[in-house]
Amino acid sequence: MNVLITGSNGLLGQHLIPLFLQDKQFNVIATGRGPNRIPERDNYIYEAANLRTPGAAANLIDKYKPEIIIHCAAMTQVDECEKNKDACWDMNVGVTRYLVQAAEKVNAYFLFISTDFVFDGLKGPYTEEDLVNPINYYGTSKVAAERIVHNSKLTWAIARTVLVYGVATDAQRSNMITWVKNNLQQQKKIKVVDDQFRTPTLCQDLAIGCKLIVDKKATGIFNISGNETLSPYDMAIKTADYFNLDTNFIEKISSKSLSQPAARPAKTGLVTEKAEKELGYNPHTFAEGLEIVAGELNR
């Protein structure tokens, strides 16, 4: 069975590819922008493509006729999305439309990766039934992309996730654990907010959640995140403690004083009960996640 995975150079993509390669029923076609950054090099096809180029998505789908498409590629820098709205819309909405239209021609099963930022953060943690109300442009673009998937003729699923952490080769985006660890090791002070709340997600858990969805050809929305609610400040302290780093370099601040270009929802987090019951999804705790990330960093 051919599975096409977009965003294969990203944090999630780099964990999804090896997971699908372990399952011999799948022929994996990975696509990323520019050269391949996945450490594994064997037993799959890599196609470099800028998916914003009209025709790029259709060409890939026409060439490989995938039975399954997992769409991870996105513009994920939330502040950049706010500052460069056209690029954000083209990538997060336009590319999803290109892929869905081409997928409809081959009747592929389509899994789209979405975010807790579809919510306003006034009453998290959220279930799959809660109504969306994004407060920044990235979230708005993801809601629009979700609607394209939802309104398509495809058999589809949407996996929503939260603040993903883990290790990737040449990562373009930092994540909580590596950001805290790198700064504290260099004895650099970091200011971390204690008034946002998330259910941080170990990248491997998200990859497993996606695989469970695909294996079951499950349909609809699934929350695939961690199931512990923590503030970024809590995460920073736990990270420093785990790596024996000096917590005095962590300054507790409010979101207001961080003054990022894009507003962040205060309290998100996702309830993962549906995925646990229907898919057998079982995420690691943050403490276990730290240990797994530390193991990867030491390899």
Ligand X SMILES: NC(=O)C1=CN([C@@H]2O[C@H](COP(=O)(O)OP(=O)(O)OC[C@H]3O[C@@H](n4cnc5c(N)ncnc54)[C@H](OP(=O)(O)O)[C@@H]3O)[C@@H](O)[C@H]2O)C=CC1
Question: What residues line the site for ligand TDO (CB under 6 A)?
Answer: 76, 78, 115-117, 162-163, 191-193, 196, 232, 258, 264
Nearer to ligand X, 25 or 74 (CB): 74
Confirm if 241 and 250 have CB atoms less than 8 A apart: no
Give the interface segment with ligand X, choosing from 19-27, 74-82, 123-131, 247-255 (CB under 6 A).
74-82
73: partner contacted, choices ligand X, ligand TDO, none (Cβ within 5-8 A by kind): ligand X
Please report, for residues 26, 93, 96, 197, the alpha-carbon distance to residue 51 in angstroms, rounded to integers and kept in the order given.
23, 11, 9, 33
Q: What is the size of the binding site for ligand X (CB under 6 A)?
A: 26
Nearer to ligand TDO, 69 or 78 (CB): 78
Nearest residue to the partner ligand X, using Cβ: 10
Look-up of token digits 């977009």: 6
185: partner contacted, choices ligand TDO, ligand X, none (Cβ within 5-8 A by kind): none
Confirm if 93 and 151 have CB atoms less than 8 A apart: no
Among 28, 61, 72, 180, binds ligand X (CB under 6 A): 72
Contact letters (x/-) for ligand X, 156-195, by CB under 6 A?
A: -----xxxx-------xx----------------------
Taking the complex as a whole, the smallest distance from the CB of residue 12 to ligand TDO amounts, in Å, to 10
Taking the complex as a whole, the smallest distance from the CB of residue 200 to ligand TDO amounts, in Å, to 8
Whether the upstream peptide bond of residue 125 has omega within 30° of 0, thus cis, is yes
Confirm if 119 and 133 have CB atoms less than 8 A apart: yes
11: partner contacted, choices ligand X, ligand TDO, none (Cβ within 5-8 A by kind): ligand X
Confirm if 60 and 103 have CB atoms less than 8 A apart: no
Residue 187 one-letter amino acid: Q
240 backbone dihedrals φ, ψ, rounded to 5°: -60, -45
The whole-angstrom separation of Cα 262 and Cα 254 is 15
Confirm if 293 and 165 have CB atoms less than 8 A apart: yes
Taking the complex as a whole, the smallest distance from the CB of residue 218 to ligand TDO amounts, in Å, to 21
Is the backbone of residue 163 left (phi > 0), alpha (psi -120 to 50) or beta? left
Q: What is the footprint of ligand X within residues 27-66 (CB under 6 A)?
A: 32-34, 50-52
CA neighbours within 13 Å on the CB side: how many for 215? 15
- The binding site for ligand X (CB under 6 A) comprises 7, 9-13, 32-34, 50-52, 72-76, 91, 113, 115, 161-164, 172-173
